[in-house]
Amino acid sequence: MSDRQLADWRTQALQLENEVNKVVVGQQTPVRLITTSIFARGHVLLEGDVGVGKTTLLRAFTRGIGGGYQRIEGTIDLMPNDLVYHTYLGDDGRPHVSPGPLLSHGTNLSVFFFNEINRARPQVHSLLLRVMAERTLSAFNREHHFPHMLVFADRNQVEKEETFEIPSAARDRFMMEIPIIVPNDADIMESLIFDTRFHDVDALVGNVSTDILQFDQLNHIAELIQSNVQASPTLRRYALDLWLATRKPAEYGIKIEGVDIKRLVLAGASPRGIAMMMRAARVNAWLNNRDAVVPEDIHAVFHETIAHRLVFSPIYEMRRSEIARDLLNQLTCLITAP
């Protein structure tokens, strides 16, 4: 029965991708990676400039999987309680309390988008990370549960004033960091500018078919994927070699121009990180109708699951994106795949 379930859900997952790609054009790779994160049940950092369609992308996915969607803006004066409840004066002139963005959908919360998370204070990060890890929250004298919630967050990477960078331990809680960039295709760029259907986000998202998937069944299907998609002993050894190489790249012959490779990495990928990489690789194999992971499945998610976990010496942090990409590309080229 599980094989039939997995086949049916694969068909629905590919239908969801097709629907999202109709309204968010030129983003096939991010769409596939977000689909992967949904079925791997992993939280996601989104990397990209303002106005590249991150909100539209997440709203389109939420419409397709069902459940509640909430978005909050990171600001310098945001406090942890602002995620939990709102206070306001009622018509009777007395103060009232209503559920905040985390609680407004109850157990049906499906997608929570924290925009410009690095504008919020560390105390807010701390609360969010705890909710991400435990999927529970104590408020109003009882425990609230979020069994189906995935958190998506993006960072303001241009303005540095009044921002609080997410520490490495916090970044490690996110399964992936996915870049969302402006498409290079001239026809797509022209459509985004001049085709008026892309200017009304509500109408655009409304074109996505509703409830293609059932959000409250995703946890179950995710575990079926993990238990049914296998990894051979040689594939496991390959994944282990990649992990070790992120920690001590000099021992694997990695060379990057202008970088003292022996001093580059302060901390490589964590055990949690490499486990998340394998969860994502199994989902990628399933989406490609395979019942076993192959090296190409790891390569498809390697950068997005590992790059944001690497801790570099401070002198190299300004070149983090460039160096991380070069480093990880070399690892997949130099380490022999089975």
Q: What number of other Cβ atoms are within 10 A of residue 325's Cβ? A: 12
Report the half-sphere exposure of 188 (CA within 13 A, side-chain side).
14
pTM of the shown model? 0.93
Q: What ranges do the domains of the chain cover?
A: 2-221, 229-334
CA 173 distance to own-chain centroid: 10
Which of helix, strand or coil describes residue 103? Answer: coil
Per DSSP, the residues of 53-98 read SHHHHHHHHHHHH-SEEEEEE--TT--GGGGTEEEEE-TTSSEEEE
Token pair, residue 155, equals: 């960072």
Strand partners, 176: 44
From first to last of its 338 residues, the chain has per-residue pLDDT tens of: 578 889 999 999 999 999 999 998 889 999 999 999 999 999 999 987 777 788 899 999 999 999 999 999 998 899 999 999 877 777 777 777 788 899 999 999 999 999 999 888 999 999 999 999 999 998 878 899 999 999 999 987 666 666 788 888 888 999 999 998 888 878 878 877 877 777 778 888 898 999 899 999 999 999 999 999 999 999 999 999 999 999 999 988 889 989 999 999 999 899 999 999 999 999 999 999 999 999 999 999 999 999 999 999 999 988 888 999 999 999 999 898 87
Q: What number of other Cβ atoms are within 10 A of residue 97's Cβ? A: 11
Q: How many Å apart are CA 243 and CA 207, to the nearest integer?
A: 42
Q: How many Å apart are CA 145 and CA 218, to the nearest integer?
A: 16
Q: What are the phi and psi torsion angles at 126 (to 5°)?
A: -60, -45
Which class does domain 229-334 fall in?
Answer: mainly alpha
Which class does domain 2-221 fall in?
Answer: alpha beta
Is the four-CA dihedral 300, 241, 42, 295 of positive or negative sign? positive
Q: How many Å apart are CA 332 and CA 187, to the nearest integer?
A: 33
